[in-house]
A and B are shown apart, each in its own frame.
Chain A
Amino acid sequence: MKKQNIPANVTVQIKPNIFDVITIICLITLGVSIATATRHVLQPLNMPNAQLIHLDALYLPGYALRTTLRMFAALFASLIFTFGYAVLAAKSRKAEMLLIPVLDILQSVPILGFLTFTVVFFMGLFSGRILGAELAAIFTIFTSQAWNMAFSMYQSLKTVPEDMKETARCFGLTGWQCFWKLEVPFAIPGLIWNMMMSMSGGWFMIVYSETITVGNTNIVLPGIGSYVGIAIEQRNLTAIFYAIGAMLLVILAYDQLLFRPLIAWSAKFRFETTQSETETTPWFLKLIHKTDFIRWVTEYINKFFHKIANLPLGKRKIITIPKIVSTKTSDYIYIGILCCLGIVAVIYVYYSIHNQLTFNDILYVCWLGFLTLLRVVSMIILASIIWIPAGIWLGLRPGWAKRTQVIAQFMAAFPANLFFPFFVVGIVHFNLSSNIWLTLLMILGTQWYILFNVVGGASNFPGDLREVVKNLHINGKLWWFKVMIPAIFPYYITGALTACGGAWNASIAAELASWGKTTLVAKGLGSYIALATKQGDTFKVGLGMVAMSAFVILFNRIVWHPLYNFAQRRLSL
């Protein structure tokens, strides 16, 4: 009975267990490979071997590692951005007035269009070094994640429950302590979920941005994307198959090793008084729990974080009577300054472009935007016709629903541009109209959001309503239009909205595709931006991006938001 008084968490195990050994070996391997990969970054661009991509499959693991590392770097940058931008917007009312609308617009800007500007900027910063090109690529991925994450963080910070804040005030927590002990934990589940969701877009961007051609600058960064790029140039279909295989493995590993455990972990920060259905713990998390070494390290890190979080920085939050008058005057001054800056910016933009672009250019771009809009809308309709019935059918069968959701989520994360060559080969071979058939590529990656959400909606269809349906003998047309479609509509809208945004973005990659020396162009805003990027025509890229952002924002405001509100008000269960 004496042994019994030993605390359980310092379990007496003299021998390190097998998991420890494996973990340490894995960590060392990881460290060495990261070091090798990053050393390359500092080399000058014109080194003989720097831009050579081998199509030999043996090189693929290395390329995959590079691609993954870029992803991590971007994720890290997005996190830092989120903690700065979102916190500033949530804490300062004045900053909020400016930052949130800006974020709203940034979210709608086609990410691929950024490339022109970032390449020029970063190549200027680190002229002649690969680091510049790397940073440009990383920045592109960053733009596909950061806005989303920042929004989620901002919303969480704004909705911290009032009673929790009061508790923090009662205990006299300082601003810093309150931030780390209350606000950040509260924001974590949403942040991680959004991180995972925006990751899907990230893979698409990274594959695209590894082969950058901006005007005369032609950069190839070693990675899966550039591997595919070279394979396309050399018309090598086998190599593309290899790349798809490698990508599958990378995404699978990302999902299993990073996001499944992270999401399971973040569940403990959820603010729910009722215990939700316990989901099964991911195997990797179980492994971590079993490995004493990792437990020991995390405990150490935890303690360190607690110490930092406990630093009595900042003021204690005392209730202050707000000085209404002075804030109002300062508001006016602030808004005035912003307006002045805005006017100056407009004048500046006008003077710098009025020699470069004519009014006809603008009209032409609007026409192209309309063409692409037509493509996006028809593709959404096509995907809906296919996936709504399929999704409902699958969603109502619990066994299928789970599997479909996993597959759809995976497919959504998979960079669809790796599949583009197959379509292009088909179009070239059968001599099809690229104006019509390239359109399919736009929805290739984003259709899965529709399926995913419809399945989710159908599987959430309540059991008692199912029984009513049976009891009243509802079937046929009545079943589809009065029961199932309204039931999944709120979910469908969420999916279609995401798919639509993704399709706009993908249009830049889809409306201009090549296979060897053959280049296919579909007339539209996407190909306009893509061609301008190749030519390095900054003004045209800028114009195209502004037009596309305007189309996206208008479409959201006029179509999706009203539909979304209607669905929430009337159709949600």
Chain B
Amino acid sequence: MKLNENQETLLQIKNCQKSYKKDNSSELVVLDNVNLTLKKGEIVGLLGRSGSGKSTLLRIIAGLTPPSKGKVTWKNQLLSGPAKGIAMVFQSFALFPWLTVQDNVQLGLEAKNTPHDQMEKLSEEAIDLIGLGGYEKAYPKELSGGMRQRVGLARALVVHPDLLLMDEPFSALDVLTAENLRTDLIELWVEKKLPVKSILIVTHSIEEAVLMCDRLLIFSTNPGTIAHELKVTFPHPRNREDPAFRQFVDRIYILMTHRNPIKVDPNNIDIEQTLTNNYVALPKMSMNLMIGMMETLYAEPYCGRADLPQLAKSLQMELDDLLPIGETLQLLEFADMAEGDIILTELGKKLVNSELDVRKDIFMKSLIKNIPLIRSIRSILDERTNHRASAERFRDELTDNMSPNAARQTLSTIIGWVRYAELFDFDEESEQFFLDEDDKKIEKD
């Protein structure tokens, strides 16, 4: 660590904010008050949920999008646009399908007008280093996902960048391929064979972050800020079965599910916010997924309480898949999350143990109680003589405090839920909510 502090500073970000203007003049802040210093010789991980703005931060550093406020300095110079010396690896590989492996790798050199013989030498070096020898003349379509990402890596490394940015580089790969690629990369890094000074990697896999990085920045959502900073001191190669390693991973889980200081949407809105925003954004969440999760939690070996890292491992789910389920169950009062555990509530247990009709009834009551949007749609439908209401109006209301995409997603999730609960229905063609004759009545308290 001491070594790092004396090292030269590559990148510095001060009070960075990123927001998007919306039509009704309000702003959607995705990144707020981000400070970051990157030094030579370290791998830094940005860890957080989807929508926490970590990919946006990466793009700001890459010069692909400017920050709304704040200052980004790269090698003591203000960053404006894509800088030389920063290369990026993409989640989707982003290879040009009409170029061979070699042509893809050489593209960056060609753009720099590198002389031909030097270009060949450099690209051959990069291709061999990353284990692509023999594949030079192949087209990306002929390669497996793992090999494609190797091309992406080689393309970034061939220009000998000072900083390598990686945007969830392994999340489009299967578990074994990702492991293989990660190990190779770390090996090259440790042996100092990589022609880069520093790596910044965005991921939502906690284990991956702990396996690779020297320093972790944990993001919170709404708006995205750096909530925690952790140093990882395990020597490479790291063993994920090591108790100390497991404990470290557990700690991060606890940090990420803890109610404070991370504001976890939607359970953790402060009172002021609740008054203005009646409606919270809901993730894509099907009934089957929620009930399946509750049944899993109820059954052996969890018996109503599960350790999140363990659960994630046995279900082969990343934090990104697991947390939204947990939070939604929490919102509907079927489960609680604390100390990195998820615990089924009595209501949740009752729901698991019930027949379909009772399940629907429990679900309906919970929706009416906990989701204000559903409550207001239903009461409007009850009031109207024709029992119809246009969805457009609610979508507009939602976009007052969330992005149009989130609003669409929220409505679609709600439609799935109310159909299951038989609260009301949705007519896709006319985009209207309506009451059907067999929709249940609500007893008013």
Binding site for B on A (CB under 8 A): 1, 3-9, 11-13, 268, 278, 281, 286, 289-290, 462, 464-465, 467-468, 470-475, 478, 482-483, 486-487, 570-573
B386 lies within 8 A of A470 (CB):
no
A482 lies within 8 A of B408 (CB):
no
| Segment with Cβ contacts to A, from B90-98, B264-272, B307-315, B329-337 | B90-98
| Segment with Cβ contacts to A, from B32-40, B106-114, B193-201, B231-239 | B106-114
B434 in the interface, Cβ–Cβ < 8 Å? yes
A474 to chain B: which residues have CB within 8 Å? 107-108, 110-111
Please tell me which one of the listed residues B91, B94, B382 contacts residue A468 in the complex, with CB atoms under 8 A apart: B94
B365 to chain A: which residues have CB within 8 Å? none
How far apart are A285's CB and chain B's nearest CB, in angstroms?
8
B436 lies within 8 A of A572 (CB):
no
B146 in the interface, Cβ–Cβ < 8 Å? no
User: Once bound together, how far apart are the Cα atoms of A13 and B434, in whole Å?
Assistant: 15
B182 in the interface, Cβ–Cβ < 8 Å? no
Q: Which secondary structure dominates where chain B touches chain A?
A: loop
Given known contacts A7-B436, A8-B387, A12-B385, A470 and B97 CB-to-CB distance under 8 angstroms: no
B112 to chain A: which residues have CB within 8 Å? 473
A570 lies within 8 A of B98 (CB):
yes
Residue of B nearest to A483 (CB): B96
How far apart are A445's CB and chain B's nearest CB, in angstroms?
31
B111 lies within 8 A of A472 (CB):
yes
User: Once bound together, how far apart are the Cα atoms of A483 and B108, in whole Å?
Assistant: 12
Taking each of A6, A468, A487, which has the highest tally of chain B beta carbons within 10 Å of its own beta carbon? Answer: A468
Given known contacts A4-B382, A289-B430, A464-B90, A470 and B96 CB-to-CB distance under 8 angstroms: no
User: Once bound together, how far apart are the Cα atoms of A572 and B441, in whole Å?
Assistant: 54
| Segment with Cβ contacts to A, from B70-78, B81-89, B294-302, B347-355 | B81-89
Encode contact with A along B109-134: 1 for CB under 8 Å, 0 otherwise: 01110000000000000000000000
B430 lies within 8 A of A473 (CB):
no
Encode contact with A along B417-436: 1 for CB under 8 Å, 0 otherwise: 00000000101111100111
Given known contacts A473-B112, A570-B97, A468 and B90 CB-to-CB distance under 8 angstroms: yes
B96 to chain A: which residues have CB within 8 Å? 465, 468, 482-483, 486
Instruction: Please name 10 pairs of A and B residues whose Cβ atoms are closer than 8 Å in the assembled complex, sorted by A.
Output: A1-B382, A9-B434, A278-B408, A281-B431, A290-B430, A467-B62, A468-B96, A470-B82, A473-B112, A483-B96
A471 lies within 8 A of B436 (CB):
no
B388 to chain A: which residues have CB within 8 Å? 8, 11
Residue of B nearest to A473 (CB): B111
B82 lies within 8 A of A8 (CB):
no
B303 in the interface, Cβ–Cβ < 8 Å? no
Given known contacts A6-B387, A6-B437, A571 and B92 CB-to-CB distance under 8 angstroms: no
A471 lies within 8 A of B88 (CB):
yes
B139 lies within 8 A of A7 (CB):
no
User: Once bound together, how far apart are the Cα atoms of A471 and B65, in whole Å?
Assistant: 11
B110 to chain A: which residues have CB within 8 Å? 474, 478, 482
B429 lies within 8 A of A289 (CB):
yes
A464 to chain B: which residues have CB within 8 Å? 90-92, 94
Binding site for A on B (CB under 8 A): 59, 62-64, 81-82, 84, 86-88, 90-92, 94, 96-99, 103, 107-108, 110-112, 139, 155, 159, 382, 385-388, 408, 425, 427-431, 434-437, 439, 441
A-B pairs, top 8 by smallest CB distance, nearest first, are A8-B434, A464-B94, A11-B386, A472-B108, A486-B98, A289-B430, A474-B111, A7-B437
User: Once bound together, how far apart are the Cα atoms of A470 and B88, in whole Å?
Assistant: 10
B81 to chain A: which residues have CB within 8 Å? 470
User: Once bound together, how far apart are the Cα atoms of A76 and B96, in whole Å?
Assistant: 45
A471 lies within 8 A of B441 (CB):
no
| Given A1-B382, A290-B430, 9 other A-B residues pairs in contact with their CB atoms under 8 A | A8-B386, A8-B434, A467-B62, A468-B96, A478-B111, A482-B107, A483-B96, A486-B96, A571-B97
B428 to chain A: which residues have CB within 8 Å? 268
A483 to chain B: which residues have CB within 8 Å? 96
B139 to chain A: which residues have CB within 8 Å? 570
User: Once bound together, how far apart are the Cα atoms of A465 and B92, in whole Å?
Assistant: 9
How far apart are B58's CB and chain A's nearest CB, in angstroms?
10
A571 to chain B: which residues have CB within 8 Å? 97-98
A482 lies within 8 A of B382 (CB):
no
A475 lies within 8 A of B431 (CB):
no
Residue of B nearest to A572 (CB): B97
A475 lies within 8 A of B111 (CB):
yes
A471 lies within 8 A of B86 (CB):
yes
User: Once bound together, how far apart are the Cα atoms of A464 and B94, in whole Å?
Assistant: 6
Residue of B nearest to A489 (CB): B98
B430 lies within 8 A of A467 (CB):
no
Taking each of A473, A486, A573, which has the highest tally of chain B beta carbons within 10 Å of its own beta carbon? Answer: A473
A471 lies within 8 A of B437 (CB):
no
A472 lies within 8 A of B107 (CB):
yes
Residue of A nearest to B158 (CB): A472
Please tell me which one of the listed residues B63, B155, B425 contacts residue A470 in the complex, with CB atoms under 8 A apart: B63
How far apart are B315's CB and chain A's nearest CB, in angstroms?
23
How far apart are B176's CB and chain A's nearest CB, in angstroms?
24
User: Once bound together, how far apart are the Cα atoms of A11 and B434, in whole Å?
Assistant: 10
B159 to chain A: which residues have CB within 8 Å? 472
A487 to chain B: which residues have CB within 8 Å? 98
How far apart are B175's CB and chain A's nearest CB, in angstroms?
23
User: Once bound together, how far apart are the Cα atoms of A11 and B92, in whole Å?
Assistant: 49
How far apart are A468's CB and chain B's nearest CB, in angstroms?
5
A573 to chain B: which residues have CB within 8 Å? 97
Residue of A nearest to B94 (CB): A464
B439 to chain A: which residues have CB within 8 Å? 4
User: Once bound together, how far apart are the Cα atoms of A11 and B437, in whole Å?
Assistant: 12
User: Once bound together, how far apart are the Cα atoms of A472 and B103, in whole Å?
Assistant: 13
How far apart are A467's CB and chain B's nearest CB, in angstroms?
5
B99 to chain A: which residues have CB within 8 Å? 482
Please tell me which one of the listed residues A281, A465, A471 contacts residue B82 in the complex, with CB atoms under 8 A apart: A471
Please tell me which one of the listed residues B84, B382, B436 contacts residue A8 in the complex, with CB atoms under 8 A apart: B436
A4 to chain B: which residues have CB within 8 Å? 382, 387, 435, 439, 441
Residue of A nearest to B65 (CB): A467
Given known contacts A8-B436, A278-B408, A472-B107, A467 and B94 CB-to-CB distance under 8 angstroms: yes
Residue of A nearest to B63 (CB): A470
How far apart are A512's CB and chain B's nearest CB, in angstroms?
43
User: Once bound together, how far apart are the Cα atoms of A7 and B437, in whole Å?
Assistant: 5
B82 to chain A: which residues have CB within 8 Å? 470-471, 473
Given known contacts A8-B386, A472-B108, A467 and B97 CB-to-CB distance under 8 angstroms: no
A8 to chain B: which residues have CB within 8 Å? 386-388, 425, 427, 434-436
B436 to chain A: which residues have CB within 8 Å? 7-8
B94 to chain A: which residues have CB within 8 Å? 462, 464-465, 467-468
How far apart are A32's CB and chain B's nearest CB, in angstroms?
31
B98 to chain A: which residues have CB within 8 Å? 486-487, 570-571
How far apart are A127's CB and chain B's nearest CB, in angstroms?
50
Residue of A nearest to B438 (CB): A5
User: Once bound together, how far apart are the Cα atoms of A486 and B103, in whole Å?
Assistant: 14
How far apart are A294's CB and chain B's nearest CB, in angstroms?
12
Taking each of A1, A281, A467, A572, which has the highest tally of chain B beta carbons within 10 Å of its own beta carbon? Answer: A467
User: Once bound together, how far apart are the Cα atoms of A486 and B107, in whole Å?
Assistant: 14
B64 lies within 8 A of A5 (CB):
no
How far apart are A509's CB and chain B's nearest CB, in angstroms?
38
Residue of A nearest to B444 (CB): A1
B90 lies within 8 A of A467 (CB):
yes
Given known contacts A8-B388, A12-B386, A471 and B62 CB-to-CB distance under 8 angstroms: yes
User: Once bound together, how far apart are the Cα atoms of A482 and B111, in whole Å?
Assistant: 11
B430 to chain A: which residues have CB within 8 Å? 286, 289-290
User: Once bound together, how far apart are the Cα atoms of A11 and B384, in whole Å?
Assistant: 11
User: Once bound together, how far apart are the Cα atoms of A149 and B59, in whole Å?
Assistant: 47
User: Once bound together, how far apart are the Cα atoms of A483 and B382, in whole Å?
Assistant: 57
B441 to chain A: which residues have CB within 8 Å? 1, 4
How far apart are B202's CB and chain A's nearest CB, in angstroms?
14
Taking each of B62, B97, B139, which has the highest tally of chain A beta carbons within 10 Å of its own beta carbon? Answer: B97
B111 to chain A: which residues have CB within 8 Å? 472-475, 478
User: Once bound together, how far apart are the Cα atoms of A419 and B429, in whole Å?
Assistant: 40
